[in-house]
């Protein structure tokens, strides 16, 4: 079993040349009053990524098209065969989270799947890193392995799958309705659990400029607080399996 099949994600280190991309993003942020050297101008968004329409539009303007190179294409071929669409040109929506003062934790709410479980794999989700995203620096949290449990609930949406998994195992209840506040983080992030023979664990997707993470659209995930001193700058994008692809 490949890492993607087993854990639901795989990193392509230094997959693209990030030169100039963070600067281009800052150029766009500057036009909306945010400056890299002035934290007073950094917009707060409840600890979550900025969700402004202009930012999404800017991301799809083609300025980040260089992420879609041969290395990333080849990795997508391996996962989806050669029948996929939407990779080139329009990469990708910026994920910008500015530092918050509230400290870092594993959120209880907001965990979701991006697509209902489907077989064969209907899409691949991607993150591309434009800044250094270190531990507790706003990297997305995933429940590694959860895509394999989610396949038992084809076509169902996040809330329903969440309820079913909570009924299935106390580890998921601790994630979403915590009781043991002191031990919650080690239980979720270090110990994990075996559920129906699948190892699950909360993993923080950190990364360096140029890294790409490919991940399963039915992996439980959530945005995390940025407790570092630096803004998190990433991109996200989806490629879809072509309907006529085997």
Ligand X SMILES: O=C(O)CCC(=O)C(=O)O
Q: How far is the CB of 194 from ligand X (least distance, A)?
A: 26
> Judged by CB under 6 A, does residue 221 bind ligand X?
yes
Identify which of residues 50 and 68 has a Cβ nearer to ligand X in the complex: 50
Identify which of residues 47 and 167 has a Cβ nearer to ligand X in the complex: 47
Q: Which residue is nearest to ligand X (CB)?
A: 223
Identify which of residues 81 and 105 has a Cβ nearer to ligand X in the complex: 105
Which residue in 10, 49, 79, 239 binds ligand X (CB under 6 A)?
Answer: 49
Which residues 153-192 are close enough to bind ligand X by CB under 6 A? none
Q: How far is the CB of 244 from ligand X (least distance, A)?
A: 27
Q: How far is the CB of 183 from ligand X (least distance, A)?
A: 25
* Beta bridge pairs of residue 35: 38
Q: How far is the CB of 49 from ligand X (least distance, A)?
A: 4
Which residues 117-156 are close enough to bind ligand X by CB under 6 A? 140
Q: Cα angle vertex 94, ends 48, 33, to 5°?
A: 80
Q: Cα angle vertex 243, ends 239, 246, to 5°?
A: 95
> Judged by CB under 6 A, does residue 114 bind ligand X?
yes
Structure tokens at 41: 């101008």
> Judged by CB under 6 A, does residue 236 bind ligand X?
yes
Task: Name the site residues for ligand X (rule: CB under 6 A).
Answer: 49, 95, 114, 140, 221, 223, 236
């Amino acid at each position: 079993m490949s890492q993607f099949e087993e854990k639901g994600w795989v990193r392509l280190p230094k997959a693209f040349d990030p030169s100039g991309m963070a600067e281009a993003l800052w150029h766009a942020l500057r036009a909306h009053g945010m400056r890299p050297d002035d934290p007073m101008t950094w917009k707060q968004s409840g600890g979550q990524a900025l969700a402004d329409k202009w930012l999404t539009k800017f991301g799809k303007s083609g300025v980040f098209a260089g992420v879609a190179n041969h290395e990333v294409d080849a990795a997508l071929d391996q996962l989806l065969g050669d029948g996929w669409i939407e990779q080139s040109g329009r990469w990708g929506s910026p994920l910008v989270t500015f530092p918050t003062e509230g400290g870092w934790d594993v959120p209880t709410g907001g965990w979701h799947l991006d697509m209902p479980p489907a077989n064969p794999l209907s899409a691949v989700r991607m993150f591309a890193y434009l800044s250094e995203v270190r531990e507790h620096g706003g990297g997305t949290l995933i429940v590694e392995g959860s895509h394999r449990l989610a396949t038992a609930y084809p076509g169902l949406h996040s809330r329903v799958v969440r309820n079913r998994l909570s009924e299935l195992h106390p580890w998921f209840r601790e994630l979403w309705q915590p009781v043991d506040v002191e031990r919650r983080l080690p239980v979720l992030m270090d110990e994990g659990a075996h559920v129906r023979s699948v190892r699950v664990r909360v993993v923080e997707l950190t990364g360096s400029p140029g890294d790409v993470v490919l991940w399963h659209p039915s992996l439980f995930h959530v945005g995390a607080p940025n407790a570092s001193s630096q803004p998190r700058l990433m991109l996200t994008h989806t490629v879809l399996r072509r309907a006529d692809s085997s």
